Amino acid sequence: MSAINESLNMARPTCVGIIGGGQLGKMIAHEARRMSFKIVILDPTVNCPASKIADEQIVADFKDENAIMKLAGECDVLTYEIELANSSALQQLESQNYPVRPAPETLRIIQTKFRQKSFLKDHKVVVPDFALVNSEKDLHNISQRFGFPMMLKACEDSYDGRGNFLVKSRDYVSEGLRYFSGKQCMVEEFIPFAKEISIMVARNPSGQIESFPVAENTHKNSILDTTIVPARVGRKVELKAKRLAEKAMSVLHGAGIFGIEMFVTKKGDVLLNEVAPRPHNSGHYSNEACSISQFEQHLRAVLDLPLAKPRLLTPAAMINILGPQGWEGSYTVEGLSNAAKVPGVKLYIYGKATSKPQRKLGHITAIGGTREEARTRARKARNAIRLVQSGAKSA
């Protein structure tokens, strides 16, 4: 492969392959399109969000080895926007000197929550106390160390809070294990955090590292609801968070953007919750509020271009639009004109064909003079939007 970072040949534009074609792939593809890079996505769902923006889609399972090899053959560099990608197929490509960014080994470490936490702890990154759970007896024993509540987590394929169960007392131990029906689980001490924060950090193959500002996140039912920037933390906590994020980056390999989720305790200690080796929901605000978006920064990292130093241009708030409870199926988004009346607001609808409870279907970002004004605007626009089951009458 020729150097991918020096020129863009219009007869054969540099091509980035993305495993996963969800909203993150769609927003990466948007930025790539602006600069006329080519994007090919691999996703099992025809009409997935990124399919409308990418140049091509390979329709196959994220783990399909043949499809991954085909994707590599069509592209100059591969990246992934979901942790479900096949890390061993990517490792095989890497061993043939094919650029996979971030490093497949990082994906392998992160794919299993227990492996991720163990790796970080072994490398002296501060994380909540945790343990592997193999039986009900194990969980009862660990509760003597952690006390209640404890956070039980499925080790694999868990995201958007779907893999979490709060064990409130010993009465919930067996229910928790039943909830995950035989899946490998781990348990963590419950952190009664004062705040949740995150930082997006990018690294390019040349080793340049640049961080976005600290964002403050509010979760509902373990799934991200709102992000505000700048985070309401003092200078000391901000520095601790930056240091912790950089420490995590120094032990995890590969180029790309990483979302680093952290807890801030009432005492002002900062613990790392988890790392996502990809653009992250809590970095969406950067599209409107920063001098560079997380998606362009990711592309720059993947293409070995110089990274920008992200600057926050304005306070902002982001609110997710999630699938309503109680039904699953096709839907209509109503209330667009009332949402659009709110100043400073940008609406994102990902284009997923069906809604499911708690599924991420879109988001709203608002900018404002203060983060509070931005949040009020984002909430107002969010309240104007209704997701109505197709065929059902709206209220």
Ligand X SMILES: Nc1ncnc2c1ncn2[C@@H]1O[C@H](COP(=O)(O)OP(=O)(O)O)[C@@H](O)[C@H]1O
- Residues in contact with Mg ion by CB under 5 A are 261, 274
Q: Work out which of 49, 99, 104, 163 binds ligand X, going by CB under 6 A.
A: 163
Is 83 a binding residue for ligand X by CB under 6 A? The answer is no
Q: Is the peptide bond before 102 cis (omega within 30 degrees of 0)?
A: yes
Q: Which residues of 128-143 are buried (b: 16+ CB within 10 A; e: fewer)?
A: bebbebeeeebbeebb
C-alpha to C-alpha distances, 216 to 111, 225, 278, nearest whole angstrom: 24, 11, 18
Touching ligand X, residues 37-66 (CB under 6 A): none
How many angstroms separate the CA atoms of 283 and 380, rounded?
21
From ligand X, Mg ion, none, which one binds at residue 5 (CB under 5 to 8 Å depending on kind)? none
Q: Binding partner of residue 306 among ligand X, Mg ion, none, CB under 5 to 8 Å per kind?
A: none
DSSP alpha helices (H): ranges in the chain? Answer: 23-34, 65-74, 87-95, 104-111, 113-122, 136-146, 173-179, 235-251, 286-289, 294-302, 336-340, 371-384
* CB closer to ligand X, 132 vs 388: 132
| Residue 226: CB atoms within 10 Å | 20
> Which of ligand X, Mg ion, none is residue 159 near (CB under 5 to 8 Å by kind)?
ligand X
In the complex, least distance from residue 85 CB atom to ligand X, rounded to whole angstroms: 16
Rule CB under 6 A: say whether 81 interacts with ligand X.
no
**Shortest distance in whole angstroms from residue 101 CB to ligand X:** 22
Phi, psi of 126 (to 5 degrees): -75, 120
The entry of ligand X, Mg ion, none that residue 196 binds, CB within 5 to 8 Å by partner kind: ligand X
Q: Show Cβ contacts of residue 102 under 8 Å, excluding neighbours closer than 6 positions.
A: 79, 252, 253, 254, 255, 256, 258, 277, 278
Can residue 196 be called a binding residue for ligand X (CB under 6 A)? yes
Amino acid at 313: L
DSSP 102: S
Asked if 118 interacts with ligand X (CB under 6 A), we say no
Stretch that binds ligand X, among 58-66, 84-92, 170-178, 183-191 (CB under 6 A): 183-191
User: In which element (H, E) is residue 360 found?
Assistant: strand 360-367
Contact region for ligand X (CB under 6 A) — 31-39, 155-163, 245-253, 356-364? 155-163
161 lies in the binding site for ligand X (CB under 6 A): yes
Phi, psi of 341, deg, nearest 5: -70, -20
Q: Which of residues 197-236 bind ligand X (CB under 6 A)?
A: 219, 222
**Of residues 243-262, those binding ligand X (CB under 6 A):** 261
Question: Should residue 160 be labelled a site residue for ligand X when binding is judged by CB under 6 A?
Answer: yes
**CB 267, min distance to Mg ion, A:** 22
Exactly one of 43, 188, 238, 288 binds ligand X (CB under 6 A); that residue is: 188
Termini Cα distance of the chain? 57
How many other CB atoms are there within 10 angstroms of residue 109's CB atom?
20
Tell me which residues touch ligand X (CB under 6 A): 128, 151, 158-161, 163-164, 188, 190-191, 196, 219, 222, 261, 273-274
